[in-house]
């Protein structure tokens, strides 16, 4: 079973490389943006022609949420055109596409966890391009899994956990927002979920939510990071209004995961447990 992974140098791509040996039945082929520019249809066709993958995990994305507000064309090129190109070549080669999306497709005005059937309403360029990418895939063929996730972090790449650890080495005090509620997702757990979807061979195509279990604020997340790593720091909680950003953040983006757990028989760790496991590596 050949599985092509795009965006191999990103944190999800690196997390998939980290777990690859746990799935000997899968022959992973990892392509960085240098190996495969998903915004170029000819390059997509050339790679697919050579590899002929059974599955493609699209871990390539433009994820700079604030920067996207001033670079909408670049975000569109990767998140929409790239997704569209992959869907077209997947259809051509009878490849199943696993495409990773985001909680940013929602406006964050909910008061209970978002299900796969809730109506998206992105408030910024990043969320809009990710939603448009989902729609592009759906318009082309049916053999896709779109997995929406949230607050992704890991021991790889750039993310909130690594930023907190870096800032703690540079400062005595850090202020973190306490009124945005969501769920941290360990990219290694997300990678494992994607592999399990593939080896299930169920063809239960559609949209799914995946994150770790539980919920917290960014302040709670930071507090736990420092606690687990035995870091003493003056951590202050502030409202979102005290930390303005170019892109509006969803105030509530907890994802309901009943569907993915039931269909693929997944057991999902709590965000706290997963964070502790990373810190012990």
Residue owning tokens 């290694």: 188
pLDDT value of position 44: 98
For the segment 64-71, the average pLDDT, to the nearest whole number, is: 94
CA angle 89, 185, 255 (to 5 degrees): 85
- Per CATH, the architecture of 2-159+183-214+255-268 is what? 3-Layer(aba) Sandwich (3.40)
For the segment 82-101, the average pLDDT, to the nearest whole number, is: 98
pLDDT value of position 197: 98
Query: For this structure, is 114 an active site residue?
Result: no
For the segment 66-70, the average pLDDT, to the nearest whole number, is: 95
pLDDT value of position 183: 98
Mean pLDDT of the chain: 96
**pLDDT exceeding 70 applies to what percent of the chain?**
99
Alpha helices in the chain (DSSP H): 11-19, 41-51, 72-76, 82-92, 125-140, 160-170, 187-200, 218-228, 258-264, 271-279
The pTM assigned to this predicted structure is 0.96
Catalytic: which of 126, 144, 153, 219?
126
Cα–Cα nearest to 237, from 175, 179, 180, 182 = 175
pLDDT value of position 279: 74
Domain coordinates in residue numbering, the chain: 2-159+183-214+255-268
DSSP assignment of 195-245: HHHHHHT----EEEE---BS-EEHHHHHHHHHHHTT---EEEEE-GGGS--
Give the tens place of pLDDT for each residue, 235-275.
Answer: 999 999 998 899 999 999 999 999 999 999 999 999 999 99
Residue owning tokens 């871990």: 59
pLDDT value of position 281: 62
- Under the banding of pLDDT at 50, 70 and 90, the label for residue 42 is very high
Is the confidence at residue 280, as pLDDT, over 80?
Answer: no
Give the tens place of pLDDT for each residue, 117-144.
Answer: 999 999 999 999 999 999 999 999 999 9
pLDDT value of position 108: 95
pLDDT value of position 67: 95
């Amino acid at each position: 079973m050949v599985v092509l992974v795009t965006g191999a140098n990103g944190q999800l791509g690196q997390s998939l490389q980290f777990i690859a040996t746990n799935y000997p039945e899968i022959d992973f082929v990892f392509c960085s943006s240098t190996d495969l520019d998903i915004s170029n249809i000819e390059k997509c066709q050339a790679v697919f022609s050579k590899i002929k993958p059974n599955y493609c995990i699209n871990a390539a994305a433009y994820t700079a949420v604030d920067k996207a507000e001033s670079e909408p064309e670049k975000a569109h090129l990767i998140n929409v055109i790239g997704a569209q190109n992959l869907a077209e070549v997947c259809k051509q080669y009878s490849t199943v596409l696993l495409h990773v999306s985001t909680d940013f497709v929602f406006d964050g005005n909910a008061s209970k966890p978002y299900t796969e059937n809730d109506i998206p309403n992105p408030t910024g360029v990043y969320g809009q391009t990710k939603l448009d990418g989902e729609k592009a895939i759906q318009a082309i063929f049916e053999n896709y899994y779109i997995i929406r996730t949230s607050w992704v972090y890991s021991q790889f790449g750039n993310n909130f956990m690594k930023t907190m650890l870096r800032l703690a080495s540079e400062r005595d005090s850090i202020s973190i927002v306490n009124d945005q509620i969501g769920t941290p997702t360990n990219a290694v757990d997300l990678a494992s979920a994607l592999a399990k979807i593939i080896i299930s061979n169920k063809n239960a195509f559609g949209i799914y939510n995946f994150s770790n279990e539980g919920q917290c604020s960014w302040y709670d997340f930071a507090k736990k990071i420092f606690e687990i790593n035995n870091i003493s720091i003056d951590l202050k909680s502030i409202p979102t209004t005290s930390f303005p950003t170019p892109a509006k953040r969803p105030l509530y983006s907890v994802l309901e995961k009943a569907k993915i757990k039931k269909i693929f028989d997944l057991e999902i760790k709590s965000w706290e447990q997963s964070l502790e496991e990373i810190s012990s590596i």
